[in-house]
Structure 1
């Protein structure tokens, strides 16, 4: 999958700017924006959480972004498929099945304490549609990767950005265009889950 940066931790992150000290603020603001946060010790626990959501949401078809540098993520997807769900990670399969998928799964680079947003590398087409078309979206986030505010987020991005797309996601899709009544899910997912993983492979320890 094409990305703005293949290795954000090595090439963009700074221990003084990206660490776990902003987690509490991030969690509070994310919940205020209607994001649903699930804590997981590791990717195995994240898989259990995702399996529970698949059952609760009655999911049959999943589209998911994959990181070729993360065999653990590939294993997670294979295990989900063994449970009986259709899961598509190839960009051509994602393009074909995105309009009828029940769930999208993708990765965030970091969370922003000030807004409760997650920053997602959306250079590739599949990274964009996975978080826009299905009615529910799951983001997997390293809980240690949070920054203070939007200014810091752009500082981090500027270290590696040359071309492409980046996205900030703050809660589920919402609009108040019709009679100023807030509605969720009109222009995108109506449910937005953040699975915060404490022990990600090769994570930085702060």
Structure 2
């Protein structure tokens, strides 16, 4: 099983949707969908919003890495609005260039050290929608993060 297949398998285990797209297919999605917050540097897209009482409906962010062994995406979230968007959005859509997919957590160690050396660093590891259960095993989705997560895997960036 290659890294892409492993990533998709692990990511779908926690309910994330994964779509492998070309740049053109992704561009079509950008034209059709409406996003409240956008941070996709590879496409020079930025739409900033400060989360208020109403929250954020949909956030679209580009990831720094994807980890195949866990189906996790890694996002440098030093910027407060980006951190809030990835945590508070009802629906989180992430863009992962295939070139950013690594096999294991060990492959992002240098990135983590670089980004968190000073006290202002903040890196988020996101593996699907937020899930929590109480003592009676009642599952609640979306308490500590998004209710839905979709990963757009771009195969030709």
Same fold (TM over 0.5): yes
Asked if 1:189 corresponds to 2:146, the answer is: yes
**1:115-162 deviation line (CA, Å, top 9, x unaligned):** 100010111102101111121010000022212222332244335543
* Separation in structure 2 between the aligned mates of residue 97 and residue 49 of structure 1, nearest angstrom: 26
Structure 1's unaligned 5+ residue stretches are 1-20, 78-88, 201-206
Give 2:77's match in structure 1, choosing from 122, 126, 142. Answer: 122
Match of 2:93 among 138, 159, 183: 138
1:141 and 1:66 mapped to 2: Cα distance?
A: 10
Residue 24 to residue 126, structure 1, CA distance change in 2 (3 Å): same
- Find the structure with the greater CA-based Rg: 1
Query: In structure 2, do the counterparts of structure 1 residues 105 and 118 end up closer, same or farther at CA, with 3 Å as the change threshold?
Result: same
In the alignment, is residue 108 of structure 1 matched against residue 88 of structure 2?
Answer: no
1:166-193 deviation line (CA, Å, top 9, x unaligned): 1100001111125212221122211101
1:39 is aligned, of 20, 39, 43, to 20
2:115, 2:124 → 1: CA distance? 15
Q: How many residues align?
A: 154
**Following the alignment from structure 1 to structure 2, what is the Cα–Cα distance between the partners of residues 118 and 104?**
15
Distance 1:146 1:134 in 2: 24
Q: How far apart in 1 are the matches of 2:31 and 2:135?
A: 35
- Normalised to the residue count of structure 1, the TM-score between the two structures is 0.66
Q: Larger strand proportion, structure 1 or 2?
A: 2
Question: Does the CA contact (< 8 Å) of 1:98 and 1:129 recur in 2?
Answer: no
